[in-house]
Amino acid sequence: MKTLVKTKFFSFEEKIKLENGLEFGPVTVAYETYGELNKDCDNAILILHALSGDAHAAGYHSPEDKKPGWWDAMIGPGKAFDTNKYFLICSNFLGGCKGTTGPSSINPQTNKPYGMDFPIITVEDMVKIQKKLIDHLGIKKLLNVAGGSLGGMQAFEWAILYPDAVRSVAVIASSTRLSSQNIAFNEVGRNAIISDPDWNNGDYYDKAPPARGLALARMIGHITYLSEESMHKKFGRKLQDKKHIDFNFDVNFRVESYLRYQGKSFVDRFDANSYLFITKAMDYFDLHEKYGSLAHAFKDSKSQFLFITFSTDWLFPPEELKNAARTLMSLGKEVTYCNIDAPFGHDSFLLEFEHQSKIISNFLSSAVDKQ
């Protein structure tokens, strides 16, 4: 039976101060919840999504939906984030295009979409908006914040910015700063969008969107989310609907067909300007630079930490979180580091559930015990 969920909305009029110094507002936040908040309001967990994710983390919006939310395998009765025990919240982040205010939202000053007038935002700004939502829901302290990739970056900022509002933090397939190689891939993706004449300096909401550029950006992304090993196993050099190479520029190999499909289908569900602003927020993420050092960043944190990495994740290599765990240990903080042997590359956090579930489930139980 499909569990049906609805996306809810929370809006506030007052302006918030962004990390870039500008005041910004009003803001609407799209969010979903799963499970029930208990009387003591101490069983709430905030799930933080990655670049192309949204508030729809689990369940189905309608009985006709073919796919559930993006982390449905992890969230539900008896699952890692057990809805029989915990109250789960997931919101679309600031700058997104799935219900929360972003570049495609109407700018009240012009009555037109913000486009490139949207302010440059950071991971800190995303987290500040999430804190507003948590306050609105009447939750003083979250039992846990958890996220993979960009979601993990938000989890880090939660632990640093709101040490009294977070009992425990699960950072998965992520890093304390974006690497040079990752900035490079983001830069190429952004250039693909900006180079598309249909981008029109971000002003395309009443016209054809920059579909070619956004599809290219997504294709590049997809290669980086998989491991060489998983691409080899999934596609190898298998041909698409033919027995022999046919000496033309049509799709020859399955991997080409897969990438073209991923690129095209992304255009139907994502806004190119959001892609620009969110990747920029990722580029700017650097806890070392922002707080002087990693040790300084975490000195006031009161959370219990769990770091999970995946052996074949070359986009966010395990070494990064392993080093962060060492720093936290040297500060006397509680930290668990697990490297899971999984073949799916960076996408492992969305595909590997067996080990991830056990580790997270145990970690949450221990966080409850220590509450």
Any catalytic annotation for residue 244?
no
Q: Is 56 a catalytic residue?
A: no
Cβ contact 308:359 at 8 Å:
yes
The residue within the footprint of its own copies, chosen from 15, 17, 140, 232 (CB under 8 A), is: 232
Instruction: By CB under 8 A, tell whether 335 contacts its own copies.
Output: no
**Percent helix, percent strand, percent coil in the chain, to nearest 5:** 40, 20, 40
247 binds its own copies (CB under 8 A): yes
Continuous H helices in the chain: 123-136, 150-161, 180-195, 211-225, 228-234, 254-269, 272-284, 287-291, 294-298, 318-330, 348-351, 354-369
Question: b/e per residue, 159-168, with b = 16+ CB within 10 A?
Answer: bbebeebbbb
| Residue (of 213, 191, 165, 193) closest to 45 by Cα position | 165
Which residue of 16, 137, 161, 220 would you call a contact of its own copies, by CB under 8 A? 220
Binding its own copies (rule: CB under 8 A), the pick from 213, 305, 346, 367 is: 213
The active-site residue, picked from 52, 91, 104, 149, is 149
- The only residue of 26, 77, 78, 236 in contact with its own copies, by rule CB under 8 A: 236
Q: How far is the CB of 182 from its own copies (least distance, A)?
A: 9
x-marked contacts with its own copies along 292-331 as a string, rule CB under 8 A: ----------------------x--x--------------
Question: Of 182-190, 293-301, 303-311, 350-358, which segment contacts its own copies by CB under 8 A?
Answer: 182-190
Q: Check residue 291 for interaction with its own copies (CB under 8 A).
A: no
Which residues lie below 8 Å from residue 48, measured CB to CB, with a gap of 6+? 90, 93, 130, 145, 146, 147, 150, 151, 152, 154, 155, 158
With CB under 8 A as the contact rule, which of the stretches 29-37, 193-201, 325-333, 360-368 interacts with its own copies?
Answer: 193-201
> Are 170 and 311 a contacting pair, CB within 8 Å?
no
Which residue among 110, 179, 293, 365 contacts its own copies (CB under 8 A)? 179
* Beta carbon of residue 254, minimum distance to its own copies (angstroms, whole number): 8
Is residue 355 annotated as a catalytic residue, yes or no? no
Q: How far is the CB of 81 from its own copies (least distance, A)?
A: 32
Residue 127 CA, distance from chain mean position: 12
- Does residue 10 interact with its own copies by CB under 8 A? no
Query: By CB under 8 A, what part of segment 35-74 binds its own copies?
Result: none
Token pair recorded at residue 261? 């499909």
d(CA 360, CA 343): 19
Beta carbons within 8 Å of 18's beta carbon, 6+ residues apart:
24, 119, 121, 122, 125
Contact region with its own copies (CB under 8 A), list: 101-109, 130-138, 143-151, 240-248: 240-248
Output 5 or 226, the one with its CB closest to its own copies: 226
Cis peptide before 343 (omega within 30 of 0): no
Q: How far is the CB of 246 from its own copies (least distance, A)?
A: 9
Q: Could you give phi then psi for residue 192, rounded to 5 degrees?
A: -60, -40
Active-site choice (56, 313, 347, 348)? 313
Choosing from 57, 215, 328, 335, the residue that interacts with its own copies (CB under 8 A) is 215
- Regarding 216 and contact with its own copies (CB under 8 A), the answer is yes
The residue type found at 47 is I
The least distance separating its own copies from the CB of residue 41, rounded to whole angstroms, comes to: 36
Check binding of 191 to its own copies (CB under 8 A): yes
Which are the catalytic amino acids? 149, 313, 346
